[in-house]
Structure formats: structure tokens, C-alpha cells
Chains A and B, each alone.
Chain A
Amino acid sequence: MIFIMAWRNIWRNKMRSLVIILSIAIGLFAGIAVLALYKGMMKSRVRAVIDAEVGHLQLHDRHFKKDFEPAFVITGGVAVLKSITAMAGVKSAAPRSITNGMLATTTGSAGVQINGIVPHLEYATSQLKNKIIEGKPFDTAKQNEVMIGKKLATKMKVKTRSKLVLTFTDTSGNIVSAAFKVAAIYQSDNAPLDERNVYVTMTDLNALLSIGNAFHEIAVLLNNDNEVKNMYQQLQNKFPVCQVESWQEISPETDLLVKTTDQYSYIIMVIIMFALAFGIINTMLMAILERTREIGMMMALGTSKIKIFNLVLLETFFLTLAGTPAGLLVGWLLTGYYTKHGLDLSGMGRDMMSSFGFNTMIYPEFPWDKLTGILLIVFCTAILSCLFPAIKALQLKPVDALRN
């Protein structure tokens, strides 16, 4: 009977109940939307890090990353690269010669990391070709071509076919300078990286560095993200002289972001529910105050305090229960739509998004893995919200309530 009473009680004031049910649905939807958006953004960021920046794994000489000294090339690099490419589970591997230097134009100069690449291998591993927004990919028939990021190009007032000078030290410590012509301007989802990295062909760079056909880095892209740990181990065992790093070690900030996103998402969810709790408290308190006499009469007839408490609890529970499926459904439908079509955040500015390393097109994902947690937060909110009104109801004295 308490169940029946609780259910019917919430419909005594339909408008008020509908408002709170709607609030719960909107709150839940907002929570789900935030989680889905975060999940989509994190996934997109991780994909960008793996597919377009560092790959799943990288190999270097053990001393190279201390000072980026060009002398520390991977010993037997060509053989290592060949061996890695032949390994099962490896999608592609790209060698890179790397040095730090100065880029100078007639308008100014900037410190950059110069990456010497084998174009077709690089295109397959880091999608560099797809990032070109102006100009053409490297022409193997031409020498001294350079590809620079949009942000750097804007900063240095450089266009395609502009000339610039790259200056760096070779393996002997001699300062080397060479003029390069801008073949293309690229733009990735990571503006800081675009500002810092320029690409030339490995043939051109290696000649200037005097390192022959050696190189400093091998970026490895795998077929499956879940194989990173396994492949990491295999590469370490196979090439003990090399330093093997996973994308999490190379880009710890991304790993930290992914790990903390779950916590942030839950915090946001709790904040939304905290705000919602006041709505529930207000509604239930109004419901109790309006029914003071009725509750007093129930107590007078012999209804125990625990039953009165249960009645208030059930009413809150039903209100929440009525709002939850609606919130979940809207959340699921909208997330499903945007998972398929993508959510274009270019309105917020591509530059702004890319300065944080995010794509403007986000594909949110319904957070199925967090559904239990979300529902738990919602129902804890409902239970905690009803405590104050329920205690108020229990404090009523039948004789005073009946006099009301």
C-alpha cells in the first residue's frame, strides 16, 4: 500500500512532479552528454597522438633523447627498421632523422625540430600527407624542400614556395646551414606541435648531418591498440641497445589526461546532481508541508515512523525513476546521432581547439562503461535529497499536525 500511495502521491501535483522529473532527465542527460563528449574527445586525442604524432611505439638510441645529439643514431637502423616492419602486428614503421635548429626567414627566426623523413613511410605512419592544407607533398625529384606547420608559417609570414634557411650542428659539431623551399604547409590538431616541427626529406637532412643512411628514431604503428604492451616487450627483448617507449611514455600528458578524464567526468556529474538535489529537496519539502495534516493523521492511526520515512523515500525514488529513463533515452539518442555524424565544434574556433591538441570534429560515445556509476550517483542523490524532507516528516507530532 505504501508503494501505491507513494506512486499516486507524486501525481497529486502533476506540474510540480513533471518539472522535477524533467529536471532529473535533463540533469542525467547533461551528465551523459559531458561524459560522452569527454570520451569522444579523449578517444580523438589518443587517436591523434597515436596515428598522427608519435605512433604506438618509438625506438631511439639510449642516449639520443638526453640532448638530441645527432651523433646518437640507432645502431644498425636499416636492419632494425626492416626487422620491425616484418613483425606480425606492425602496420607501418617510419624512420626519422632528427635535429634541433633554427629556422630563419627575411622576417625573423624560430627554434624548430627538423625531422628528416622518408615520405612514403611517414605518410603511412603519421598521415602527414593528409594534414597538408596548402602546397604539394615532397617531390622526390626535387631537393631541399621543407614542409612547415600553419602556425609557424603564419608566425614567420611564410607561404608555399617561400625560401627559408635551416641552421643546425652536424655530428662533428660544425654549424651547417641550408636554404629550403616551402613545398607545403600542413595543419594538424595540435597547434603547438605544428609550430615546432618542420619536415624535410631524410636524404637532404642526412647529407647535411653527415650521417649517411642512419637515423635517430623509428615510429611504429600497430594494427591493434591493445598490442602495445606485448609489442613493447618484444621490441625491448629484440633490440636491447635501443630505448623503446610507448605512446604513454612519449606523451605522458595525454596519458594523464585520459586517466584523469574519468575522475573529472564523475566530478562534473556529481556537481550537476548536487544542483539537482536542491530541486528534489524543495519539491519533497513542499510535498511534506502540504500534507502535514495527512501525515499526522497517518501517525495517529498507527503508521510507524519507518513507514512514513519509506513513503517519502519511495516518492523521491519514483520521481527519480520516472526521470531516469527519459534522461538515458535522450542521452542515448543524441549521443548515437553525434557518434554517427560527429559534433562540429569549429564554432569554438579550430585554432583554439588545436591549441589544446583536439580536433574540431568530435565523435561522442555513449559511456556504457560508466552507466552503473552514473545510475549510482543519480540514486544516491535521490536518497540523500529525501533525507531532509523525511526527517522533517518524522519530526511531526500527530497532535500538532492534526491541528494544522
Chain B
Amino acid sequence: MNTVIDAHNISKVYNPTTIPVYAVNNVHLHLQKGEFTALVGPSGSGKTTLLNMIGGLDRPDEGNIFINGIDITKLSANELISFRLQNIGFVFQSFNLIPVLTAKENVEFIMQLQKASKQQREERVKTLFAQIGLQDKLNERPSRLSGGQQQRVAVARALASRPQFVLADEPTANLDTKSAFNLLDIMAKLNMEENITFLFSTHDQRVIDRARRVITLVDGRIVQDTAEVSTQHEEAAAVKT
């Protein structure tokens, strides 16, 4: 399997000169292509900070983050913008669609930034909206869509640029149960069928139950990673046989 995210010893400290608070403390994280991973932990455990650093929105105070072999901690602000556009898809907790654009335009916007042709954009939009099941809402403004529909458009937007992986920060936090399950079904399907890598922060049990790997963060440290547990189980099973 290909390593998509490779984070080494990353730390993020707030108030370093007065009373240092470690939002993320010496974290190692490796994510392979096609993983469907949940980053869990109580509020203030550092999930969003870790996600922001992996997404190139924030910089670690220590350590390095390699995305497909590129150390993004060494990139300038402008290089990071371009890197995010080409490699990372984002789904935010509060949807964050551009309110003045229609659902279709929101998705197209990213591809236009990538300078995709009109035909490429049209085809991609058609495919994505079929995948999220909103073909009939193409020309609706976000204000006319339900929360669940908006979040599905946000997923389509995250995938529009054909990113290396998608980072989702509490994607189901503002959704009702039905919409949350619907969204998770879509994400799981995309993961299974198109091998798209998902990493989402959550404390929603519905999401945790669907994740194939769960990383638990407490006080900025990884206290449990199911990938390591399953690897140990596999190793133990192999020894037994």
C-alpha cells in the first residue's frame, strides 16, 4: 500500500513563552492510500489542530509532515495554497459552501481554480452529483438545501479536485441521524469503490462505528490506534499458526 500521510513527531504548542499548552504532542501518524480513518477524542484533545496541520492550514512547531513524500512543513504559504488545491479535499463541520454560488458552481469552483476545461468540469460535476444523489439540486443555492444536502455537496466539492485524501472535521456534527447515515454511506461507498482516503475528526459514535481505523487522541497524544492493535493481532495470529 502507498503511504499518503506520514507525520513524524509533530507537536503544536500554544503560549510557548508563558505556560506552554501542547495541543498536539509528539504525534506519529501514517495513513495508507484508501484508509477510512476516524480521529476521535474528547473536546480539546487536539483533533482539529492535528487535522489542520495535516491539511496544511496550520504549521507544527516541531516535526515534519510528508504528503506523498513532500514535506509540507517546508512549503511557503503560497506553495501550500497550491498544494492544498491539488492534493487535499476538505469537508468542514458547518458545510462552508459559498452562499452566492449554486451547488454545481460550488463544486465547479475548485476545478476552475485547477484550470480544468468546461467539458472536464461538466463531466466531473455530473459524476459527483450522481454519486451524492443530488442531480436534481444542481442549480440550487446552499440556502435552499438542507444541512445533509449541503454536506453532501461539500463532499462532492472536496472530491472535485481528485485529491490524494479528504480531511473531514466533524462532518456529521450538524446533521440529524438520517442525514448523517446518508453522508457516511456516500463516503464509505466512495472509499470502497474509488479507494479514496478519508481522515475525519469526530466524537460521533455513528462515524466511529463506520470507520475501519480509529485513532484516539487525548491531551494531544495518540493513546490508541486500532491499526496498531489489528497489526499486533495479525502478528500474534501469524505466530500461532
Chain A residues proximal to chain B, CB less than 8 Å: 1, 4-5, 8-9, 12, 293-294, 297-305, 307, 398-399, 402
* A300 contact set on B, CB distance < 8 A: 55, 57, 84, 90
Main secondary structure of the interface of A (DSSP, over half): helix
- B26 near A: Cβ within 8 Å? no
* B86 contact set on A, CB distance < 8 A: 302
Residue of A nearest to B53 (CB): A399
- B135 near A: Cβ within 8 Å? no
* B58 contact set on A, CB distance < 8 A: 399
Give CA–CA (A307, B105) in the complex, Å: 16
| Nearest CB of chain A from residue B218's CB, rounded to whole Å | 22
A305/B113 contact (C-beta < 8 A), A5-B98, A402-B92 known: no
Give CA–CA (A95, B24) in the complex, Å: 101
Let me know if A4 and B101 touch, CB within 8 A: yes
Let me know if A303 and B100 touch, CB within 8 A: no
Which of B52, B90, B96 sits near A294, CB closer than 8 Å? B96
A-B contact count (CB 8 A): 62
Which of B84, B100, B110 sits near A8, CB closer than 8 Å? B100
Let me know if B52 and A399 touch, CB within 8 A: yes
* B52 contact set on A, CB distance < 8 A: 399
Let me know if B101 and A398 touch, CB within 8 A: no
* A399 contact set on B, CB distance < 8 A: 52, 57-58
Let me know if B57 and A302 touch, CB within 8 A: no
Known: A5-B98, A301-B109, A302-B82. 12 other contacts (CB 8 A): A5-B100, A9-B100, A12-B99, A294-B99, A297-B98, A300-B55, A300-B84, A302-B84, A302-B85, A302-B113, A304-B81, A398-B57
**18 examples of A-B residue contacts, CB within 8 angstroms:** A1-B112, A4-B105, A8-B101, A9-B100, A12-B100, A294-B99, A300-B57, A300-B90, A301-B109, A301-B113, A301-B157, A302-B110, A302-B113, A302-B161, A303-B81, A303-B85, A304-B82, A399-B58
* B96 contact set on A, CB distance < 8 A: 293-294, 297, 402
Give CA–CA (A196, B107) in the complex, Å: 81
A307/B113 contact (C-beta < 8 A), A1-B101, A399-B58 known: yes
Interface residue total, chain B, C-beta cutoff 8 A:
25
Let me know if A301 and B112 touch, CB within 8 A: no
- B108 near A: Cβ within 8 Å? yes
Give CA–CA (A304, B79) in the complex, Å: 10
| Nearest CB of chain A from residue B105's CB, rounded to whole Å | 7
Chain A proximity mask over B135-164: 1 for CB below 8 Å, otherwise 0: 000000000000000000000010001000
* B100 contact set on A, CB distance < 8 A: 4-5, 8-9, 12
Residue of B nearest to A5 (CB): B100
- B119 near A: Cβ within 8 Å? no
* B82 contact set on A, CB distance < 8 A: 302, 304
| Nearest CB of chain A from residue B53's CB, rounded to whole Å | 9
Give CA–CA (A227, B208) in the complex, Å: 93
Give CA–CA (A300, B51) in the complex, Å: 12
A303/B57 contact (C-beta < 8 A), A5-B100, A294-B99 known: no
| Nearest CB of chain A from residue B80's CB, rounded to whole Å | 9
Residue of A nearest to B97 (CB): A297
| Nearest CB of chain B from residue A318's CB, rounded to whole Å | 13
* B18 contact set on A, CB distance < 8 A: none
* A303 contact set on B, CB distance < 8 A: 81, 85, 113
Let me know if A304 and B78 touch, CB within 8 A: yes
Which of B85, B99, B108 sits near A301, CB closer than 8 Å? B85
| Nearest CB of chain A from residue B28's CB, rounded to whole Å | 22
Most buried by A among B81, B101, B112: B81
Residue of A nearest to B167 (CB): A300
* B92 contact set on A, CB distance < 8 A: 297, 402
| Nearest CB of chain B from residue A177's CB, rounded to whole Å | 88
* B113 contact set on A, CB distance < 8 A: 301-304, 307
Let me know if A302 and B81 touch, CB within 8 A: yes
